[in-house]
Structure 1
Amino acid sequence: MRTLAIDYGERRVGLALSDPTGFLASSLKVILRESDKQVAMDIAKVVEEHEVEQIVLGYPITLQGEVGKKAQHVESFSRLLGQHVSVPITLFDERLTTVSAQRVLIEADMSRKKRKTVVDAVAATILLQTYLDSKSH
């Protein structure tokens, strides 16, 4: 079962895809965000191309576990995306995934400019792997 993870950001949206067994996550790509509708349509194409059966959407609740403005925007985007895809969409706690992704890229000695272009896809990969691991236990 292929799962697509989405790290939704104001400017860039990172995507990661599981292998067909649903065991291993890998970075797919970053979508430059012009509008929510454009991102939803781009994701719908990815879902079709890769025969995705499920979507995991990063849910940016606060460190205190509260639903803030960003999380409310993700909820709204989830509803919009649901109009463009026919697969289930799961909101999944993404706290600290971007921080973890930055750390991994810094440890890999990647330049700041290059990190900026890939951090969202790496964050989506971390999100997806965390989700897949939680389902296997």
Structure 2
Amino acid sequence: MRRMGLDYGDKTIGVAVSDELGWTAQGVETIRRTTQERDFGRLRELVEAYSVSEIVVGLPKNMNNTIGPRGEICIEFAKQVEEILQLPVHLWDERLTTASAQRTLLEADVSRKKRKQVIDKMAAALILQNFMDSKIAR
């Protein structure tokens, strides 16, 4: 069972997929958002190409565990994903995943330009990996 992780942003959607056993997550691509039709068309292509059976969308919560405006936008996006792609969608607390991805890339001495190109798919991979790890831990 393959899962897809999504990091939904204002300008991009970071995409990651799991291996077939559901143990590891790999960043696949960053979709530059344009129109809803094009964005969901690309997501559908990736779902089919990787035989994805469920999707995890990052939910940015505030540090006090409340959901702010950005979180509300992600919840609405998750509902659209579920409706349009007809797959189960899980929301996963993504607090600090982008910061963690940024720190990892800085420690690896990745250039600013390169970081900008990969940060969203790396954040999606962290969201998906954390979700999968929580399932194994149970």
- 1:105 pairs with 2:105: yes
Distance 2:53 2:22 in 1: 10
Superposed displacement of residue 37, structure 1: 4.0
Which residue of structure 1 lines up, in the alignment, with residue 134 of structure 2?
134
Which residue of structure 2 lines up, in the alignment, with residue 24 of structure 1?
24
Distance 1:35 1:62 in 2: 28
Give the conservation status (yes or no) of the 8 Å contact 1:41–1:84. no
Distance 1:133 1:36 in 2: 31
Distance 2:127 2:105 in 1: 15
Distance 1:77 1:127 in 2: 16
Superposed displacement of residue 27, structure 1: 0.9
Q: TM-score, normalised by structure 1?
A: 0.95
Q: Residue deviations 1:89-122, cap 9 Å, x none? A: 0000000000000001001101111101100011
- 1:115 pairs with 2:127: no
Superposed displacement of residue 26, structure 1: 0.8
Superposed displacement of residue 36, structure 1: 3.8
Q: Residue deviations 1:24-52, cap 9 Å, x none? A: 11111100011344322221221111110
Count residues in correspondence.
137
| Percent identity over paired residues | 39
Which residue of structure 2 lines up, in the alignment, with residue 95 of structure 1?
95
Please, what is the CA RMSD of the aligned residues?
1.0
Which residue of structure 1 lines up, in the alignment, with residue 77 of structure 2?
77
Q: TM-score, normalised by structure 2?
A: 0.95
Query: Any stretches of 5+ residues in structure 2 without a counterpart?
Result: none
